[in-house]
Structure 1
């Protein structure tokens, strides 16, 4: 597996000589000079909040296991994760006692079998209950399945669709350039439950590559557990012009206990789970995003104006930033602004902002020229997905596995079935030639996941 950063306690000021460097002589570790635990960088005077690396590692393993390692068609020893490992080839190796074809991995010589997808009708019924937006009890009743079997086939449905999408994505994500866009959103469930989630889309197509929630089954420290009714997020459109909006957001960030102390209102955790602070989720999410960029020559990343997301984006892209292969931009949506900004300085880090017809932007990783190379073609991709998810997700969910399965099913359905101006995100991303119905997509996923070894 390729390298993912393990230590996030370092200077995060791009212009500082210590940017991204661990264990500098300029650091005072676990400083409390500003009233919170931080890494104090004497070179630039910054105090990035202290990060519990072990908790990030534990949650990263949990999220990787769901989003990238759910395999049903290859040797799991050699091909543990999508993107992170090269696909293995296999040869036919007889049959099991039950008559299932056995395969022998050409790389590690291990023998394994790929079972057939059984009871497809039950999986189709479960999919229809998802499309019909039935609550769980009504869905179980309609399918005629027991509760145990319903959840079993829900997991199979999620596995098939996720595996299909990852295999398709992996086929085309070896390219010279990719652009990503990331924002954080709050999804509310019944009984004041809910979660903070990060969405990342391929910026030129709106194809949703990754969504991660701050729901976890890991044990958390008090400092890393989210439990708040406060809200430090400024809502869009509360200012009369874009410059005021930018300054207002920076001012609100300054009023927090520290820059990364993002609060998103009252959220109660679901059954037998914890909610991790959004800032910590950001480090996990951006670490996983390396799956989509590590084979590209260069990439751009457009992120919302949020300090906790900024820190995670910089740490994830550190190797590419140092070699000038990565460009990271703040993007702030703002409609009908009468003001024109050109290289306007704002905020704690002296970010320089320019505006265009759909908002404003700032290059975090390098100085802007008079005509900066900003290119975000459609600024509504993530909002469209959030609106879709808000209207489609079962709000009565109260277990982590079920929530994760529903979320992934909807991610794939949105990418391949929902259209804007006649095209689905998968079509825009060159993964499909037509929009699918949900049932057509399931049939395609079943066919696609049947592994057939190459003949010698």
Structure 2
């Protein structure tokens, strides 16, 4: 359970302290980069510090709520080994944890088998909602089975659960400009420059997100929502070998922390990607054009081309670079194209953050049923 709730730790791949909650190499707080950070002397990294008590308190409720609703793992000890345990007086299926023996009735009417994905692909989405005004914005994370195309999990930075003040999103009226450069290499470079302009690498400013006065719930910092999102996925599928994420630095930290044991033992790979999207269905092979080094960490990006289409992928851990040809966020792009056509989604500026999130989750279930029939 310690690793599940660890957030203040080294997040550098290849470091002996990756994912460790404590180490003699740690010192904190350090302010060399202008904010409170943990310094790992083994690798020299300075990951930002979080209020771990407030994170643990929020995450325990978040995990328990998901587990109680789905039945996929125990809401008390978070273990996956469960069995069906008869029915309650209303005829609903009960479940028992094989570890702590807790018995509960999941709120979902039926338990569906989880098919382990070979690759998980994750993208962010900014969605308008009705808060103090109609131009408030919700930060949403969507993860997909990168090969089968199904939506695996959706999170947002709206939370109905109690949350400490240090975990709240604070809008400073200085949203980062969208990076939409036509040249994909320049686009990757501009994203890296954006990271450096932040008050700290994970402190994204994406727009105003104020709820209505006296509304229940709160808006989380996107980095906190990301850590919660990937902890759910790592509970469901701890053995996933390939992780593909949109180019956002705090997503990297959240993934590598959630699956730290896998990465420490070199059993998993993590990729950044930026790709051009078109409807060309040609089956030309991808060709590797070369490499470029980008950003604060001088990460090596591969440049791939297929006809007139290009993509850039960055292997952030150990792995086979030749697999870059198969790395894609296509599952996410297909869902977003479908989502934009749905009336419920188009009307999101009229509804609360909670209602918008519930609508997206309901639409994801509809989409999954749709692609299973194809």
Asked whether the 8 Å contact 1:103–1:111 carries over to 2, the reply is no
**DSSP-derived class of the 1:34 partner:** coil
Matching residue of 1:23 = 22
What's the TM-score, normalizing by structure 1? 0.67
- Following TM superposition, by how much is the alpha carbon of 1:69 offset from its aligned partner in structure 2, in angstroms? 2.1
Distance 1:23 1:82 in 2: 22
Cα deviation, 1:177-235, whole Å, max 9, x if unaligned, reads 61000111111023223310111001002211111010123233156333233223643
Deviation at 1:320, TM superposition (A): 0.3
**CA distance in 2 between partners of 1:253 and 1:103 (Å):** 47
Q: 2:145 aligns to what? A: 202
Please name the residue that 1:398 is paired with. Answer: 352
Structure 1 position 106, deviation (Å): 8.6
Unaligned runs of 5+ in 1: 115-155, 418-423, 428-433, 436-456
Kept in 2, the 8 Å contact 1:283–1:312? The answer is: yes
Do residues 363 (structure 1) and 315 (structure 2) align? yes
* Runs of 4+ displaced beyond 6 Å: 102-108, 110-114
Matches within 5 A, 1:14-413: 14-70=13-69, 80=75, 84-90=79-85, 160=108, 164=110, 167-170=111-114, 172-173=115-116, 178-190=118-130, 191-217=134-160, 218-222=162-166, 224-232=168-176, 234-236=178-180, 238-239=181-182, 241-270=183-212, 271-294=215-238, 296=239, 298-334=240-276, 341-357=289-305, 358-366=310-318, 369=321, 371-372=322-323, 374-376=325-327, 379-390=329-340, 391=342, 392-393=344-345, 394-395=347-348, 396-398=350-352, 400=354, 402-413=355-366
1:8 match: secondary structure: coil
Q: CA deviation at 1:299?
A: 1.4
> How far apart, in 2, do the equivalents of 1:415 and 1:362 lie?
29
Question: CA 1:107–1:288 in structure 2 vs 1: closer, same or farther (change >3 Å)?
Answer: closer
Query: Whole-Å Cα distance in 2 between the matches of residues 105 and 23 of structure 1?
Result: 35
Question: What's the offset of the Cα at 1:327?
Answer: 0.6
Distance 1:323 1:383 in 2: 32
Asked if the contact 1:286–1:313 (Cα under 8 Å) also holds between the matched residues in 2, the reply is yes
Q: Hey, what's the Cα distance between the residues in 2 that align with 1:53 and 1:106?
A: 30
Which secondary structure state, in structure 1, belongs to the residue aligned with residue 205 of structure 2?
coil
* C-alpha displacement of 1:91: 5.4
Deviations, residues 60-102 of structure 1 (Å, cap 9, x unaligned): 234334433215xx8x9x965899433424458xx96xxx569
- Cα distance in 2 between the residues matched to 1:306 and 1:113: 38
List alignment gaps of at least 5 residues for structure 2.
279-286
Residue 372 (structure 1) shift: 4.1
Distance in 2 of aligned mates of 1:16 and 1:54: 25
Q: Distance in 2 between matches of 1:373 and 1:362?
A: 8
TM score, norm. by length of structure 2:
0.80
**Between Structure 1 and Structure 2, whose CA radius of gyration is higher?**
1
Deviation at 1:51, TM superposition (A): 1.6
Q: Deviations over 1:28-63 (max 9, x none)?
A: 212122221111223333211112223322332343
Displacement, 1:113?
A: 10
- Does the C-alpha gap of structure 1 residues 81 and 17 become closer, same or farther in structure 2, counting only changes over 3 Å? closer
Partners of 2:206 and 2:92 lie apart in 1 by: 50
- In the other structure, the counterpart of 1:130 is none
* Higher strand residue share: 2
Count of matched residue pairs: 350
How has the CA–CA distance of structure 1 residues 192 and 268 changed in structure 2, closer, same or farther, with 3 Å as cutoff? farther
Q: Is the 8 A contact 1:83 1:292 kept in 2?
A: no
SS at the partner of 1:405? helix
Paired residues of 1:220 and 1:276 also in contact (CA < 8 A): no
CA contact (8 A) 1:303 1:309 kept: yes
CA distance in 2, matches of 1:83, 1:27: 28
**Separation (CA, whole Å) in 2 of partners of 1:315 and 1:380:** 25
